[in-house]
Amino acid sequence: MELLFLGTSAGVPTRARNVTSMLLDLQHPTRGGLWLFDCGEGTQHQMLHTASHPGKLDKIFITHLHGDHLFGLPGLLCSRSMAGNVHPLTIYGPTGIREFVETSLRLSGSWTDYPLEIIEIREGVVFSDDAWTVTAALLNHPVECYGFRIEEHDKPGALDGAALAAAGVPSGPLYQQLKRGERVTLQDGRVINGADYLSPPRPGKTLAIFGDTAPCEAALALAKGVDLLVHEATLETAMEEKANSRGHSSTRQAAQLAHDAQARKLVITHVSSRYDAQGCAMLLAECRAVFANCELAHDFTPVRV
């Protein structure tokens, strides 16, 4: 998977940063999959600078209804329709997301020519198929706000072709059944159990993408053991009290969560517009003092998962 940051500023855009949005390319070998997390104003403009197109989006996850995470959604939905896309799209978000979308379209005389499903979520599993599961948890913010944990299901182990050849199993369509762990009967009557020729399953990747939040207990469970944690770090440690009073986290608190959750990597985003390049370097240094494997996202930063 690859996560591409389309916007990394908190509250308002700056000359260097747009407001919040992230694009997750699942890179599934057969189904692809392109998911958007939050859609601040100008998100569709940011997408124009990437190889991805709104028509390829399968799902949009909205963490909360503050404007810097939401105001780009009506424009993106309409542009997607005007381009003639017919690929279905599902939006997941807090209570009120349906009213926001439907009212925006109705008052502007707009519509979508593709199937659009809007799901107002609660805590727990919000999506699951044979490849991924997405779980939501409530965070600590003045409005209903969620974090999402995306878990890729474990992948089957590799098939030991050499051992099968030594056992006299001919290559061909049977190998696909054996790779699924199934039993097959050979022409000579022998029954071969695919599970006996598979290496252990490969663990799927996991990542947690948080909306805005002050520290809370739910955050730890959501981030536990993830390969990648994306967390806001709106303000520096010296301004921690101010950050928390507005439902945000400091650099130290974001890094401490990554440490406590035993995450493999932390990427901080949602940076206050008060920080220039030198200030951003200071924010990153504060995080790394607590959790070394940390990066600060800039617009169009790609992160492999």
Rg (CA), the chain: 22
Which backbone phi and psi does 229 adopt, to 5 degrees?
-115, 125
**Dist. CA 107–CA 297, nearest whole Å:** 36
Count of CA atoms in the C-beta half-sphere (13 A) of 55: 10
Q: 6: which 2 tokens?
A: 């389309």
H or E element: which one contains 271? strand 271-272
Active-site annotation holds for 260: no
**Dist. CA 156–CA 150, nearest whole Å:** 19
Which backbone phi and psi does 91 adopt, to 5 degrees?
-110, 130
Q: Which of 68, 129, 196, 276 is catalytic?
A: 68
**Dist. CA 195–CA 292, nearest whole Å:** 40
Count of CA atoms in the C-beta half-sphere (13 A) of 120: 11
Catalytic residue set: 68
